[in-house]
Amino acid sequence: MSENVMAAIRSDEPPPGADRPGGDAPPWSAARPWPRTSRPRRWGGVVRTARLSLAEQPWLGDHLVLGAVLLPATALLDLAAGGAREAGCDRLDAVVFERPVPVPEWGALQLRVAVGAEDAEGRRAVTVSSRRESAGPDAPWTRHAAGRASRGGDARAAGLGGGPPPGAVPVDPGAHRVRLAALGLVHGPAFHGLRAAWAAEGEAWAEVSLPDGIEAQGFGVHPALLDAALHAVGAGGLLADEGRARVPCAASGVRVWRPGARALRVRLARVGADAVSLVAVDGADRPVVEVGALVLRPLSAAALAADRAASGPAPHRVDWQALPPPWPGPGGCDVVARRDARRRGGDVLAGALWALGLVRAWLADGERGEGRLAVVTRGGVALPGESPDPAQAAVWGLVRAAQSEHPGRLVLVDADPDEDLGAALASGEPQLAVRGGRLLVPRLVRAERVAEVPRTGPVFGPGTVLVTGAGGALGRLVARHLVAAHGVTDLLLVGRRGVPGDVVAALAGRGATVRAALCDVGERAALRALLADRPLTGVVHCAGAPESGGAVASLAPERLARALRPTALAAARLHELTRGMDLSAFVLFSSPAGILGGRGAAPHAAAGAALDALAERRRALGLPAVSIAWRPPGAGEGALPLACHEGLALMDAALTAPDAVTVPLRLDPGALRARAVEGALPALFHGLVRVPTAVSPRRVRGVPTDGPRAETPLPPAARDGGARRDQAAAPPPRRDGARADRRRRWPLR
């Protein structure tokens, strides 16, 4: 089918210079998105241009393919059909979508629709091309669609009658959108027009309508409306998808009877292995649009491979980005609890236990319903040039895990005591830092890979390297890697339960001097005795928690303490007792949960955040340190497991990277896109995954801004932790501007 369509296309570009509108061509109407009828050029054709940008057509941002905003193929179809109508043709005989149209994040594209002169058979060539507006008037055009148009006569499609046939099975449009997102097609609210769908033998039926605020006037068929109708192909199982999303690549027999429809009833029928026909009618059963054959092909294997490569193993870091005003509102939190700034530099365990008691009491208070709690720290996170407090960071780690388990119930803010928190609490962001009245939000970004720099000596120095947790899987893996890849010849291996003899023997067989010791590095006296006569040149802290994670609401304080002792508390002891040594490396293996959060990961998250903060603090003191947020298998929120060799390779890169904290990740693009289309993508990932324009972080609601609420005391456990009540001030009213005006249409000239 598609080969026949493509064979019908012949290139018939306009003569040189015909792409520039001249004096005899009226400008495109600002009230219409496509060309209005005008006198053909002297060469017998018609050429019109339009301007396309996300600022002026924000609904386009709701159409993402493999993470990129692309002009829908249905828009190319409407452009081609509209150009044909202007030239007096009422039928688009055939059109091939040759290449996608990426919509730039900034700036604009020029679109050109060119309709050629009639040939001997009365047909006209139609092309749709684009170029960047910034490229200038002499830049070449890139062709995206090519087809043929003609006068098709007065034959009209019949109506659809009573609707789906008996036995048609209803399908769930929402579930299909989520599935499409996992396959690489993310549709925001502008493309959520599929209201109902049914599957029948060889057919699919649908009811579609445009969301409020999006105008249909001026289009033949609005691209978002027609795109939504095509979702019924997959939802109804009309074509085999083979685990890949299908996208339009060609069409034939296209006729638009009634332009500007807002709602359609649609029947799609299979007419080939990869093609369907489409008939759509309005509420009065009058034909609106007919497509004889629309070819839909699975996304190419090359495109999918490129998508997988883009999400391969890579180092990531947290980037604190300014949140520009105006901030959405009004909003606030029912209670604001501060971790007393006087406790800065306190014990990591004390900070984590304070957060645990506070959050558990808040979640257990049934009178709060869906109320919001803001947890405020000072020094819980480090912006460039700052030194964090590991005890405050442990609060962030634990609350991040709680946020994953209870979305929308908790907000994290790091600020000095005199900062105004009103705008932060009304911003809708789950995690913020306030500095000098500026709001900053954490976003995960890919870390820059640093070119290999010739070293004058080994990273770990010529002396003894201490490896903690050497009896565990990670410790054994790292010890072997130090000897094999880094040339370490003197190892001190310690573990709470000792180190297996076969591990020692294997390393010794590689030529290393290996000493093994039974030691709890969380115990200061035992660690001091171990290091008394063993000066070190490197430390690698691999010790992990003895137990798995647990949900915050049911996490016992004793269990949290057992998780922190061999990890964060032991690292603090190592920092304290090695400060007088000439270390060339101080490596901490933390947990991605400390940054990403995660359900059931509260102990690991608290420990991981404290370890990351310790690495930042050592860097601020001029001491070597790097924290690597990875433990096999290394999966987490929105991530896939890393193979051991991949994790070790990223560890090697982190040793010479400028960042004190590295998060090795293999992102799961399908899972992230699915969460984005559901509006549930964590804000931390918004720097890595494009979010449809109308999907934003969950709004923080609570205290009304038109007056104070009656005072409601916190539970005793929260009061004992130093919580206090605070009223969230309302931010200025939002001025959405053009980007939020979803009614804007194509400005034409």
Active site residues: 63, 227
Does a cis peptide bond (omega within 30 degrees of 0) precede residue 211? Answer: no
* 36 Cα distance to chain centroid: 40
Long-range contact list for 356-359, CB < 8 A, 24+ apart? 356/398, 356/552, 356/555, 356/557, 356/560, 356/602, 357/557, 357/717, 357/718, 357/720, 357/721, 358/717, 358/718, 358/721, 358/723, 359/398, 359/399, 359/402, 359/410, 359/552
Q: What are phi and psi of 322, to 5 degrees?
A: -65, 135
- Give the DSSP per-residue string, 218-231: T-SS-HHHHHHHHH
3-state DSSP helix/strand/coil % of the chain, to nearest 5: 30, 25, 45
- Residue 83 in tokens: 């150009």
Write out the DSSP string of 138-194.
Answer: TSPPEEEEEEEEE---S------TTSSPTTPEEE-HHHHHHHHHHTTEEE-GGG--E
Among 61, 93, 242, residue whose Cα is nearest residue 744: 61
Q: Would you mind telling me the total number of residues written for the chain in this entry?
A: 749
Neighbour tally for 371: CB within 10 Å: 16
* CA contacts within 13 A on the Cβ side of 726: 26
Give whole-number Cα distances, 447 to 80, 631, 669, in Å: 43, 19, 18
Adjacent-strand bridge partners of 147:
95, 126
SS3 614: helix
β-pairing, 246-256 vs 263-272, is: unpaired
Quick one: three-class SS letters along 35-99?
A: CCCCCCCCCCCEEEEEEECCCCCHHHHHEEECCEEECCHHHHHHHHHHHHHHCCCCEEEEEEECC
* Beta strands at 464-468 and 490-495: parallel, antiparallel or unpaired: parallel
Determine contact, residues 240/197, Cβ cutoff 8 Å: no
Q: Which residue, 577, 663, 620, is CA-closest to 390?
A: 620
- Say if residues 33 and 746 touch (Cβ distance below 8 Å): yes
Please state, in angstroms and rounded to a whole number, the distance separating the CA atoms of residues 112 and 580.
70
DSSP 447-479: PPPPPP---SS-TT-SSEEEEETTTSHHHHHHH
Residue 346: burial class (beta carbons within 10 Å; 0-12, 13-18, 19+): middle
Residue pair 141/129 in contact by the 8 Å Cβ criterion = yes
